[in-house]
Each structure stands twice: as structure tokens, then as C-alpha cells.
Structure 1
Amino acid sequence: MTSGLLLSPRVVAGDVEVARDVSTVAVMAVPDIGPWLRPGQLLITSTSVLNRLVEPIDAFLARLHRGSASGLAVRLDDGVAKLPDGMIDEATQLGFPVVVVDDLFSLEHALAGDLAELWDRQVDAVFTADRLRKLLVDLVMAGGGHDELAASIAREMSGAVLITTPDGCRICHSGNESELRRLVGSRALDSTGRLRTDSIDGGLGLHNLDGEFVVVSAISANGIDHGRLVLHSTERTLSSEDLYILEQAASVCALVVAKELVVSSVEEKHRANFIRDLLRGRGGEHEHVVAHARTFGWDLDRPVVVVVIEPDPVVEDTLSVPARMPLVERQARAFAGAVADRDPGAAVVGLATETVMLMESGTDAKNRVHELVESVRGGGGGRSQFGVGVSRPVTTVDGIPAMYNQAKTALKIGRQLSGAQAVTHFDELGVCRLLSLVEDESELESFAQETLRELTEDTAEARDMRRTLEVLLATNINIAETARQLHFHYNTLRYRLAKLEKILGSFTENPALRLDLSLALKIMAMRGVHS
């Protein structure tokens, strides 16, 4: 199909005999070809376009190579034009074919009309994007924020617009309400209303959702990923040109982010310092702390619980999106957004390794914490996971340091007992909170070893027998109930009981031994050794 398309092609780099097969052909009329790039694509461009590249030529060629492009055909625009310095060496090193041609393409070829139209569309997209960018910059200079930008983009691009956080939580929206409802009901958003940032439906780019199109662009400032700009339209078919225009609009949205970051950075530092002093018992008198907290919009003149959120250890992925802001800061912002409607007076601050939240207590505090956690975790969307510890209620600010320690203890033990993503309340810890006060962990391990003997071994049989012992103790040695819970025959359970007493001693007749065995099992659970 491409035979005869290129006029007098001359290979200057790479080996066309072993290159990727050409499945599509496209022109590159603008320096940023990203929205139009497809795997197996032969790109046709000119030296005047290459000379306008913002990125170095080696980075540009590497991007084409990573994108599985088949090759690059370049027209020398005049008799003295030449390829950018280092282009041939870099293409040769990558094994990426580069061909020099006398003209962009033959006007007699069957593809000529389509390629000429694509060239015109790309050029038109540049002028449209420039007009929209100037319009949006004027809005920002006049003090406009995300709401005003979303409204202007929706109007200019004839669609519904969402602006979200990097993990897909909605910041604002604008556009036709019926289109917004269709977007919310589409596969682009999950059941919690978040953009699916970890899937093909909500990842960066142009997506076809059952015949309706969604365009998603990253909002980045200073190389940091701050969110997503989303366009959806049912009135027309969105295209790669729309993606290009939206990416330019997203760069203006980044100006708003940068402005907000400058304004909030000093205040965030004061908030964090205030909370640190409060958690260390250096906040001052109750009335002073309450008054100071009100300047941040927080209400501490009421019973509150302390909630500590700590990220699970993760290895950040290296996707082709801007680097993200620190994980704790992202999670702190997510919780601040989630709690704003439920408890406007709650304090939420990201510290060095954790997020601390002081929220209103009450009979439903436990449920509200779980609702917040589910809201932030959502149903996917690239959110990093975390563990949560919750304290008992406290009525005065001088009791907050002790409640902070309770929340930290709940978080630590909850992870030991239930895994990394546990949400644990201090009141649920039982005897484990006493065991956590023993600083010498080797003493606890020695106690467990001496009490449980070979049942501490990491074997299938030992785990099985520990589980039997755990249920026996939980049912107060009710053999029939234990057999029912474990789905054993009654006689099988009696045999197992006899075997356990041979190993551990006659615990059915010795309450003190049963207590020791229960504590030893708790110690093993706290060490992450489960039955």
C-alpha cells in the first residue's frame, strides 16, 4: 500500500529490511506528534518541523522507538537543509529506520488525499490550541481557577469536562448535564465516581467507550503529576486533534496548580508544625489551641478521635506520565477531600511518613472512618494502599498526644494481625495492646516457643494444629462446637485434642495454661505468623 508513496527515498539510518512492518502512514506537521503516534506507523515529516522540536533529537527518536513506530521519512526543505545534528548516529544506535525523501509524498498516490487532510488537521489543531491557550491564560491572569477553566474548555470544545486529582477524584466539572451523566455512567469512571486512572478506559489518551469518546490528559507542573483533564462528547466524534488541543489546555491548568502550590506551601508548613507540636504535647492551653486551629478552619473544641494513615511499602511504577508528588502528600490530599463534606471541621495534615487526621468522634465514628477509607481507596484507579489506626475519643487537646500513641499502636498491631491494609481501632486490640508494651521482643518469642513448643514451627501440620487449638480455646473447649466450626468429625477432634495435650500439657483442666496458650497464640499473630 505504501509502495510509490515516498519520492526518491534514501535510507540514512537503520535497516529497512528488518524494521517493523508498516501498518499505517501518518504525517507529522507539528513538533509534538504524541496524540497521533500509533504502533507500526511510518511518519512523514520535514526538517522545518524537526528543527522546532522542544525535546532533544535523541529523546524524540527514543520516544518513536518506544512507541513501536516503523520509521521516519524526512523531506529536506531546501538545498541547504540538513537533518538535526546527531540524528543519524542516534537512529543507527537504536536501529530505527530514517529515510530522506525529495517530497513529503507523491500526489498521485492513493493515500495522498488522506495524508494532506491529516497535515491540514494537525496545523489547524495548532492554531485552535493556541487560541484556547491564550483564552485560558487570560482567565488565570484574571484570577480564575479550575472551575472557570473547566467551564471555558467545555464551551470551546463542545463537551463535558472533568478535572481530577492524579488518582481520579473529581475536583470540578462543567458542561452539559446530560453529557456529564453519561460520562459518570460510562466505563471511564468506577462505581465510586473516580476516573479509572489505572485502566485503558481512563488512562492518558483517546479512548472509545462503546461508541462514545473520552480524551484524558495529564496536568503536570514542575515535572510533577497533579491531576487529569477529561473531555467527553456525544455530539461529535473526538479525535487525535482533540487530544492535542486538550493537552495544551492541561498545560494552562497546571498554571493554576503552580499558583495554588505557591500560595499554600507556607500555610501547609504552619499547619504541619502546629499539628506536630500538638501531638508532642507542646500545643499550649486548650483555649489557645482551639483558637489557633480555627484559623486553619479546624474545630478542636469538641470530642475528636485521632486517625493515623501510613502508606504501605510500595515500589512506584515508572509509567510514561509525569512524576508524582510524594505519596504521603497525595494521600493527605485525598483524605482532606474525602472528609471535607462529611466533617468540615476535621484537621488533616501530611507529616513526614504519615497522614494525621483529627475528626469528630461519636457513636458512628467507626463507620465514618471506614467510609472515608473506602472513599479514598475506591475501586482501583492507581491508588497506593495504606494502613489505618484509630484512637479512642478525647475531649481536651491535652489528651491528644496519648490518643495519637493509641492510633499508632492500633496501626502497628493491626498490620501485624490483619495485614498491611488493616483499619484498626484501639478498642479492638484487646490483650494485644498490653503485649505491645513489652519492649523486649525476644522475651515474647521465647515465651511463645516455650509455651507452644513444636507448634511454633512453620510447617503445614503445625499451622493446622495451631488453628485447632485456637478454636478450642475460643469455644472454651467445647468439642462439638469446635468440630462444627472446623468441619471435623467429632472423633477426629477428640483425637486432635489428645495429641495437643500430649504436646502442650493438660490445658483442658488447667485455666492458667489455657491463658498462657492464648497469649502465645496472640504473640505469634502479632509477629505475622498466622494459623
Structure 2
Amino acid sequence: MFERRVQESWGYGISVAEMLELPALAGIACVAGAEGLVRRIERLNVMEVPDIAPWVRERELLLTTGYPVRERPEALVELVRDLHERGAAGLAVKLGRYLDEVPPGALEEADRLGIPLLTLPAIGFDEVLTVVLSEVLDRQSALLARSEQLHQDLLQRIVAGQGLTDVAAHVSRLVRARILVTTADGRVLVETDASHGEEGVATVPVHGDGLERDATGRVRVEDLSYGFTDGDPARIVVPVVAGRHDHGRMIATAVDAPLSRTDEHALQRAATVVALSITKQRELAAVESKYEGDFLRDVVAGTAGDPAEVVARAGMLGWDLERPVVVLVAQHDDPTPHFRPDAGASPPQDRFISAWRSVVRAHDPTSAVVGLSSEVVAVLGVPTGFDGDAEEFVRPFVTRVTGDGGGGRRTFCTGLSRLCHDVADLPAAYEQARSAVRVGRWLHGPGALVEFDSLGIHRLLSLVSDPAELAEFVEDTLGSLVSDEPDKVELRQTLQALLDHNLNVAETARQMLFHYNTLRYRITKLERMIGPFTTDPHLRLNVAVALQALTLRSVDERVSGKASLSTTHNKPVR
């Protein structure tokens, strides 16, 4: 629809209806197409040749005496149609000299298309041009002056040290609208409302703004179009961009005063300052995050000092480590996605860290949340009356991070430590959480949420302090079966299937689609390699543990890319 296309592009100018109200142009009448009086006029043109349509631009009012079509007045029907297709503001015809009346077909076509068809009194074109263009320029000047004043005012607020909330509140008061500033994926950074008085800051989410949100409160910005939308309520959406970096969206929704299309220009200028404020906050946060990351890295490595010193330094960062806590580690399942820095989005890991920080600190501002290399580490204070079910306690956080887009567009695994009552136990708790992530991904697949205590035998294996000793145990027990040669891998799979089916040969053969005699042959071959595991229960136990340890080693190697049984058990990520 033409009207929709025009609404999306309107900004400067005056409407045809406003032009008809100008005292200097009294006598101009709309004889058809009254539904199009809302069309905007930003420029005017005079018709001097019959084929003028290709030179007409959007939001242009065309004036004519009818001279170019004096011998074929019905050509006005086609002209009206062409003007509509090009998004013109309308057609004004001066009757009396070359045309006595507007052809009925042209009137009908103007009514059908909703494009104003005007008749001019005895008034010169130069006067129409002067009056209308002067009005348009005056309004544009006022608009630019208002936008520039807003821009300078907001810049002064940034220089004075005010933050994003203050900037958004000032914009809200100026346009008398509800203002939301979101990230590129729709997480709400600031939500203000002009109806909240002088401060203009909503203390709770005001939502009732007609915006589509998911269960976690994320605004579905992907469904919003930029520009002015004359709906119920009216809304303006502008991008918050700095250079090629997409910081998000600024959304203005009408509250108790109408939004005009001219407000869009002011909001575009304001969005530039909002981008500056977000950039400033991110740079400050980056410095703080580096300091926090360095400190927590020392804490989980056990090199941050004595417990009293650790608690004191944590308190300076706003962290409470004197209470019972659980350590959480979250890692993307695909740590090396394709990412183009020039595409304007933040790196996935940055968005991941930001999502965890916003979700956790909204629940408990005294919890520590930092990004260490390719993972997020959080030290979460447990609630009063905690029953030991850390998974149920943390699951709402995982759900919200997924909805926030920090992990929702890319799956991630989350590992939890045992309950930790002492700062000195944090290094061990961190290793427990990392083991839960690593093994949980192998046991349950992408997106797993796993507690360390639920790992079974893998929990014990991950606690072995000397990886070389565990590797030696595996090799002593399995011998040449540790090889990655295809035939050895097949034999290990057969051995594991036998153990899984409690050495039931018939059931194992059916599960592996083997002939019974084929499986008996393989069992004989396996016993020649590792011993009589079918009759020696102690050897069978050693073999079962060694197979699990070997699997754990393969998981470690996929994560780290190093041929070590455990490259991460005792070392924090640096």
C-alpha cells in the first residue's frame, strides 16, 4: 500500500491538509482524493510537458495550468495514476485558461487511489511556490534546531557524567513518550516512562506498550520496523549504531501525548548520544571486567592470598564470598563459531558474558560473574533454606540466559560445583564445575546442565590429581586397545557393549547386529589382549573404569586440542 510506504518515509514537510489551511492560499480546493490529504509536501514542481511523470519525485506537489494536456484532457487520468505510483503529494490544476473543468475520469481515479486533486483560484504559481516552500523550510529549520538542541543537551549530560538511564529519561520527558533502549537482540537496558513524573524512570518494567516479548522479557526487535508507525499506540523505532557496531534499538511509544513523525528525527539524533553512552559504559565495564577477571582467576587458582584478604578484596568489588556458594561454569558447545567483526554485532562470547551478568546480578547483585577466556564463571550465593539441589536453583538462570540471546542462539553447557562453605575451597569448587561441564556435555549432549555430584564414576576420575598416573592405569589395563586404530576402536566398542549387557552374549550380539559366533570370536580375541575379564570380577571392574577414563581423556582432548588425559583439571583458563 502506498500509504504504508509513505508513512515509513515521512519526516519533513507539511501535509496537503496543512497547506490548504495557510491563509495566503485561501481558495485552493480539494475536489477529489480527500483521503490522501495526509500526504506530505516537501517540494513542488510545475508541469511544462505532457510526459512529466518520470521527473516527479516522492512527496512532490505538481502544479499545472493544463496547457500540456489541453488537446487531450483525459490524459490527466493517466497522470493521476503515475503520480500515485511515484509517491507524489498530489496534483493542483489551475482552471479557466486551458481547462474549464477536471475530467470526471481523473476525479474518479484520484478518489480511488486516495491522491489529492486540487483546483487553484486566480493565484500565480510563484506565490504558491513561495508560500509552501517557505512553510516547509521554516518547519525544517525548527525541526533541525530542536534536534540540534536535544543533541547538545544530551552530550552535555554525558560529559557531566550522567549515564544511559539519565539520557533515556531526558528523551522520555522531551517527547512525552515511553522510551526503551535494548540490545541488538532485544534485552532491555533501560525502560523509562514520561508519566513517571520528573525523574521519568520506571522502577519496574512497564510493559503495556504493545511490544512483543518472549517469556524472559526480551523484546522481539526482529519483528520491528525502523521509523514511525501510526498504530495504537504510535511508535518510533530507531537504530542505536556507532560506526559499524550495532548497539541495539531505541523505541519510543506514545503514552499521554501523540508522537509526531517529526519526533523521529529528534530520536535519531538522540540515538547517536545513546550509542556514545553505551560505548562509554562498555569501556568502563571492560576495565572493571578485566580487573574482576584477573582477581577471580587468582581466586580459583588459589593464588589470591589468605581467605581474609580474598573476602576483603571481593567486598570492594561488591561480591559476598562469606556465605555458602556454588560455583557455576558455562561454556558454548561450539567455542569457535564463524564471526565477522565487520558485521556490526558483538562477539558471541561478549554477548554470552553480558547475558549471564545481567541475569545473575538482577537476582543477586553481590554474586560474582566474570568471563574467563572461553567460559563464564559465576560464584552464586545460595538462598536461605537451600536444600542442596543446585540444579533446580540454577535452572531459572539458564532459562533466562537462553531467552536473553546470550546463549539462546548458540547452545551452551553449564556445570555446577558442590556447595562451598569456605573461600579456601573455591579452587576445588571451580574444578568441580569445569569437570561437570566437560563430562556433562559428553554424557548428555549440547545444552546440558550438570551437577558435579551427579557424574558418578566420572566424578572420581576427574578428581585424580595426577593425570599421568591415570593414563598409566588405562594403558596397563587396556594395553593395545587404547590405540585409535579402527580395529581397536571396534574392539573397545564391543567390550563396552558386553559390559553394558552384563556379559550377556546373546543380548549383546542382537544389540550390535553380530552373529553369535562372531561375538564369541571377538571375546576370545579381547581376552588374549587384556586377560580373562569374563571370569575375573576384579579385572572386569578395572576394565570398566579404564574405559570410562579413556572416554574422559578423549573428551579432554576434544576440548583442549592436546593429547593429555586432563589438560584443565588443575589449571584455570588464562
TM score, norm. by length of structure 2? 0.58
The equivalent residue for 1:378 is 403
The equivalent residue for 1:189 is 213
Q: What's the offset of the Cα at 1:413? A: 2.0
Verify the 8 A CA contact 1:449 1:456 in the aligned structure 2.
no
Verify the 8 A CA contact 1:392 1:406 in the aligned structure 2.
yes
Query: How many angstroms apart in 2 are the aligned matches of 1:27 and 1:125?
Result: 18
Query: How many angstroms apart in 2 are the aligned matches of 1:319 and 1:128?
Result: 35
Verify the 8 A CA contact 1:309 1:388 in the aligned structure 2.
yes
Letter in 2 for 1:276: R
2:370 corresponds, among 340, 349, 362, to 349
1:402 aligns with 2:428: yes
1:472 corresponds, among 480, 501, 524, to 501
1:415 corresponds, among 435, 441, 448, to 441
1:169 aligns with 2:193: no
Verify the 8 A CA contact 1:286 1:398 in the aligned structure 2.
yes
1:387 aligns with 2:413: yes
Q: Deviations over 1:376-400 (max 9, x none)?
A: 1117586444332222233322222
The equivalent residue for 1:322 is 344
The equivalent residue for 1:134 is 152
Letter in 1 for 2:395: H
The equivalent residue for 2:125 is none
Query: How many angstroms apart in 2 are the aligned matches of 1:217 and 1:329?
Result: 23
Written as runs of structure 1 = structure 2, the 5 A alignment for 1:175-324 is 175=193, 180-183=206-209, 186=211, 188-197=212-221, 200-202=222-224, 205-206=226-227, 215-221=236-242, 223-233=244-254, 244-311=265-332, 312-316=334-338, 322-324=344-346
Q: What's the offset of the Cα at 1:406? A: 2.1
Verify the 8 A CA contact 2:182 2:250 in the aligned structure 1.
yes
Q: What's the offset of the Cα at 1:247? A: 3.1
Q: What's the offset of the Cα at 1:495? A: 10
The RMSD of aligned alpha carbons is 5.2
Q: What's the offset of the Cα at 1:299? A: 0.9
Distance 1:444 1:239, change over 3 A: farther
Query: How many angstroms apart in 2 are the aligned matches of 1:456 and 1:354?
Result: 32
Letter in 1 for 2:448: A
Letter in 2 for 1:307: L
Number of aligned positions between the proteins:
423
Query: How many angstroms apart in 1 are the aligned matches of 2:425 and 2:156?
Result: 50
Distance 1:103 1:396, change over 3 A: closer
The equivalent residue for 2:393 is 368
Q: Deviations over 1:474-510 (max 9, x none)?
A: xx97x9xx99xxxxxxx97899896766644797876
Query: How many angstroms apart in 1 are the aligned matches of 2:446 and 2:512?
Result: 36
Q: Deviations over 1:369-423 (max 9, x none)?
A: 2221211111758644433222223332222222222222222222233334333
Q: What's the offset of the Cα at 1:298? A: 0.7
1:447 corresponds, among 478, 488, 512, to 478
Distance 1:24 1:210, change over 3 A: closer
Query: How many angstroms apart in 1 are the aligned matches of 2:182 and 2:8?
Result: 33
Distance 1:442 1:210, change over 3 A: farther
Q: Deviations over 1:48-104 (max 9, x none)?
A: xxxxxxxxxxxxxxxxxxxxxxxxxxx9xxxxxxxxxxxxxxxxxxxxxxxx97999
Q: Structure 1, unaligned stretches of length 5 or more?
A: 3-22, 32-74, 76-99, 484-490
The equivalent residue for 1:145 is 163
Query: How many angstroms apart in 2 are the aligned matches of 1:448 and 1:399?
Result: 37
Written as runs of structure 1 = structure 2, the 5 A alignment for 1:57-76 is none
Query: How many angstroms apart in 1 are the aligned matches of 2:534 and 2:227?
Result: 67
Distance 1:521 1:253, change over 3 A: same
Q: What's the offset of the Cα at 1:334? A: 2.0
Distance 1:521 1:149, change over 3 A: same
Distance 1:317 1:157, change over 3 A: farther
Verify the 8 A CA contact 1:304 1:393 in the aligned structure 2.
yes
Verify the 8 A CA contact 1:501 1:507 in the aligned structure 2.
no
Verify the 8 A CA contact 1:218 1:228 in the aligned structure 2.
yes
Verify the 8 A CA contact 1:167 1:383 in the aligned structure 2.
no
Structure 1 residue matching 2:190: 3-state secondary structure: strand
Distance 1:300 1:496, change over 3 A: same
Q: What's the offset of the Cα at 1:173? A: 0.8
Verify the 8 A CA contact 1:448 1:521 in the aligned structure 2.
no
The equivalent residue for 1:66 is none
Structure 1 residue matching 2:251: 3-state secondary structure: strand
Q: What's the offset of the Cα at 1:518? A: 4.3
Letter in 2 for 1:150: A
The equivalent residue for 2:108 is none
Verify the 8 A CA contact 1:277 1:283 in the aligned structure 2.
yes
Distance 1:287 1:318, change over 3 A: closer
TM score, norm. by length of structure 1? 0.62
Distance 1:299 1:241, change over 3 A: same
The equivalent residue for 2:62 is 107
Verify the 8 A CA contact 2:177 2:254 in the aligned structure 1.
yes
Query: How many angstroms apart in 2 are the aligned matches of 1:208 and 1:448?
Result: 72
The equivalent residue for 1:160 is 178
Q: What's the offset of the Cα at 1:290? A: 0.9
Distance 1:258 1:320, change over 3 A: closer
Query: How many angstroms apart in 2 are the aligned matches of 1:226 and 1:370?
Result: 28
Verify the 8 A CA contact 1:305 1:403 in the aligned structure 2.
yes
Q: What's the offset of the Cα at 1:194? A: 0.7
Letter in 1 for 2:445: G
Distance 1:448 1:215, change over 3 A: farther
Verify the 8 A CA contact 1:163 1:230 in the aligned structure 2.
yes
Q: What's the offset of the Cα at 1:327? A: 3.7
Q: What's the offset of the Cα at 1:162? A: 1.5
Structure 2 residue matching 1:341: 3-state secondary structure: helix
Query: How many angstroms apart in 2 are the aligned matches of 1:269 and 1:394?
Result: 25
Structure 1 residue matching 2:213: 3-state secondary structure: coil
Distance 1:380 1:168, change over 3 A: same
Letter in 2 for 1:322: G
Distance 1:143 1:313, change over 3 A: same
Distance 1:277 1:470, change over 3 A: same
